[in-house]
Amino acid sequence: MKTLNYTLIVLAISLTGCKKDTKNNDSGKDSSIAKKDSVVIPEIHKEYYGIYTGDFNGMETTVDEMDDTPYDVDVYKKISLKINRITKDSVYGQSIVNGNQRPFRGVFNETSKSFVLDEPGNDKTDGRFEVKLTGDSLIGRWSAFNKAAVKAPVKTLKLLKKEFVYNPNFMLDKDSNLVDWTNPKEFVEKYTDDETGKTESYTTSKNRVASDAVFKLNASKQKLTEKDLKNLRKLDLEIIKNSVFARHGYSFKKETYRNFFEQTDWYIPVSNNVDQELSPLEKENVALLNRFTKYAEDKYDSFGR
């Protein structure tokens, strides 16, 4: 009986040892895999990281409203290319234009200092950037993957590297054009002939216009009050509010706001969501501006272009 008990004890110890060895071996295997998976691919040419912004233009075909004749026009937009990471095999970043932020991935040719960068391809506006570094500039072109889906399937780029900086003091330039050219409104006017006394009606197009208040109120620095806002035009309120987002590099989808802030030399679109970047003061002011904008009226004038 003693011999049997001794044999059982030895067998139990052996089995326990086997389990421990197996566990240790598995652990070593997992550790090996973890080390393999955690290998960091080295980054290169970090001096090229950053934001390149500037003109993005091409030819679009439009139709004359009078005789339905098609003709080509030059269309200019602003674009930012943000290069986030470069390795031996890949380049990662994003393009930002008209409030549309798209990731891209591509390659960098060290010999020619050129990039080939592809957007994902699952959006009709996606395409390929082929650009070359010239000093602090990126020059080249963009080609749409789906040429039939966009008005200008090929566009040229001339971008300058700029450092984005948030500055609460940034304001619209004093010589800014304060007319909203993108949302004209039709009005019926009456005209009375002095000689005949006959009154006739005609339709005229007018545009929204802001006041000089947009140069005086800064929603990133001063606590706004109802007294500050109660007599302002709707467009004034919109500009003052969106100046907050422009200072944080928000990429506007609405052409109205892009047209205002692209007149400055400080506006650099870097993101389509900057809500988390706003200070408590800015959030409070934006909420107040939204309340007043809801009930404000616009001022319309006639302008020639």
User: What tens digit of pLDDT does each residue of 191-231 get?
Assistant: 887 777 788 888 889 999 999 999 999 999 999 999 999 99
Q: What are phi and psi of 294, to 5 degrees?
A: -60, -35
Number of domains present in the structure of the chain: 2
Say how far apart CA 213 and CA 20 lie, in whole Å.
Answer: 77
Residues 183 and 158 grouped into a single domain: no
Is 129 a member of any domain?
yes
Say what the pLDDT of residue 7 is: 44
State the number of CA atoms in the 13 A half-sphere of 276 facing the CB: 3
Question: Of 249, 254, 238, 241, whose CA–CA distance to 98 is shortest?
Answer: 254
User: Final residue of a domain: which of 130, 162, 194?
Assistant: 162
Say how far apart CA 131 and CA 86 lie, in whole Å.
Answer: 15
Residues 53 and 156 grouped into a single domain: yes
8: pLDDT strictly greater than 70? no
> Quick check: 132 and 138 in contact, CB under 8 A?
yes
186-211 b/e (C-beta count within 10 Å ≥ 16 → b): eeeeeeeeeeeeeeeeeeeebbbbbe
- Residues 36-91 have pLDDT tens digits of 455 788 999 999 999 999 999 998 777 776 677 777 788 888 899 999 999 999 99
User: Final residue of a domain: which of 162, 191, 211?
Assistant: 162
Contacts of 140 (CB under 8 A, 6+ apart): 114, 129, 130, 131, 132, 156, 157
Residues 51 and 85 grouped into a single domain: yes
Is 170 a member of any domain?
no
Domain that holds residue 64: 46-162
pTM for the full model? 0.78
* CATH for 149: 2.40.128.120
Is 39 a member of any domain?
no
Say how far apart CA 292 and CA 286 lie, in whole Å.
Answer: 10
State the number of CA atoms in the 13 A half-sphere of 272 facing the CB: 14
Residues 50 and 156 grouped into a single domain: yes
